[in-house]
Amino acid sequence: MQEAELAPFTTPYKPVKRSRPLRAILDWHQTQSVAGLAVRYAILLFFAAIFLFPFLWMISTSLKELDQVMRLPPQWIPEPIRWRNYAEATRAIPFWRYTWNTVWLCILGVSGTVFSCSLVAYGFSRIDWKGRDTLFFFSLGTMMIPFPVLMVPLYGIFRDLGWIGSFKPLWVPMWFGSAYSIFLLRQFFMTLPRDLTEAAMIDGCSHWRIYWQIALPLTRPALMVVGLFTFMAIWNDFMGPLIYLTDREQFTLALGLQHFQSKHGGTDMNLLMAASTLVVLPVIILFFFTQKTFIEGIAMSGSKG
């Protein structure tokens, strides 16, 4: 039943197609000229190599001894391979402390965004009230205000609240919704059939229960997208922590990594690359587990003009 309910949503944004059966691929190859195919694959492999090479270089450097790092021509496969760089990188900066700080912010931020935005999106789509759509479109318009505009006054506000140097400026606002996520979730809620809500109302269900027990479970895919993107935004965020965090113990991974890089007297490149690899790795792993949500989420956000 859930699949059927969601059909009106899933059809308009066609997800990026899965690989076709081998037969179809072979048939298509038959229709192409050999030279055309060769050029096509050559270009693909060329670009694949270019896109991969920075990753390989990062990993390669991260496994070198310091004097190997500066050697020319560079060795792609270090000899010997120095795994110890990773252990040393996590000790050169309080790496696990930074990881915990970032994860904690992600937990607070993602749960706040998912909860507040879905609640607000429900209010903007499943309840009829006067002025609803006007206020919604006004809210959308505020997306045009970029963060640099708000940055200085926000700093003042957070300072008056005594929040500078704490995590609060980075997660508390996320419990009060964000226009973009509200927009995405509202799109989703709009596609749920009206009868669903009305039937539940007749049975004496309150909006709160409909939201919690019917709407939320049905919008799991959209909540995943919002949660995932929020996670990525927090994990990546550099400017926010740079402005609001003052105590080195509270740095996030992004800020800690930059701090490590700009350390007085320079940082050993092999350790810096090892630390960078450790910051990139969780994101890549997350991607492999949530590929479909990722790709569909981006396609969805991009095609809505």
Identify residues 140-179 at the interface with other proteins (CB under 8 A): 142, 144-157, 159, 173, 175-178
34 binds other proteins (CB under 8 A): no
Size of the site for other proteins (CB under 8 A): 100
Residue from 124, 183, 188, 231 binding other proteins (CB under 8 A): 124
Segment near other proteins (CB under 8 A); pick from 103-111, 126-134, 188-196, 213-221: 126-134
276 binds other proteins (CB under 8 A): yes
Is residue 239 within 8 Å of 246, Cβ to Cβ?
Answer: no
Residue from 51, 67, 134, 137 binding other proteins (CB under 8 A): 51
Residue 169 CA to residue 157 CA, distance in Å, equals 10
Shortest distance, CB of residue 1 to other proteins, whole angstroms?
Answer: 25
Segment near other proteins (CB under 8 A); pick from 2-10, 81-89, 215-223, 237-245: 237-245
Burial 287-304 (b: 16+ CB within 10 A, else e): eeebeebbebbeebeeee
Residue from 3, 67, 128, 195 binding other proteins (CB under 8 A): 128
Contacts of 250 (CB under 8 A, 6+ apart): 101, 165, 166, 167
201 binds other proteins (CB under 8 A): no
3 state SS of 110: helix
State the amino acid at position 29 in one-letter form. H
232 binds other proteins (CB under 8 A): yes
**Which C-beta is closer to other proteins: that of 225 or that of 254?**
254
Task: Please count the other Cβ atoms lying within 10 Å of the Cβ belonging to residue 254.
Answer: 20
**Nearest residue to 116 (alpha-carbon basis) of 182, 180, 170:** 182
At 70, give phi and psi (nearest 5°).
-90, 10
**Which C-beta is closer to other proteins: that of 28 or that of 104?**
28
**Which C-beta is closer to other proteins: that of 2 or that of 31?**
31
DSSP 106-130: HHHHHHHHHHHHHHHHHHTTTS--T
264 binds other proteins (CB under 8 A): no
**Which C-beta is closer to other proteins: that of 2 or that of 11?**
11
137 binds other proteins (CB under 8 A): no
Residue 148 CA to residue 151 CA, distance in Å, equals 5
Shortest distance, CB of residue 207 to other proteins, whole angstroms?
Answer: 6
Q: Which residue has the tokens 């509270």?
A: 250
Residue from 95, 123, 192, 250 binding other proteins (CB under 8 A): 123
Residue 5 CA to residue 160 CA, distance in Å, equals 48
Is residue 60 within 8 Å of 77, Cβ to Cβ?
Answer: yes
Residue from 135, 209, 213, 248 binding other proteins (CB under 8 A): 135
Binding pattern to other proteins, positions 66-105, x when CB under 8 A? ---xx-xxx-------------------------------
Type and span of the H or E element at 221: helix 220-236
State the amino acid at position 66 in one-letter form. L
246 binds other proteins (CB under 8 A): no
**Which C-beta is closer to other proteins: that of 66 or that of 199?**
66
Segment near other proteins (CB under 8 A); pick from 2-10, 43-51, 91-99, 190-198: 43-51
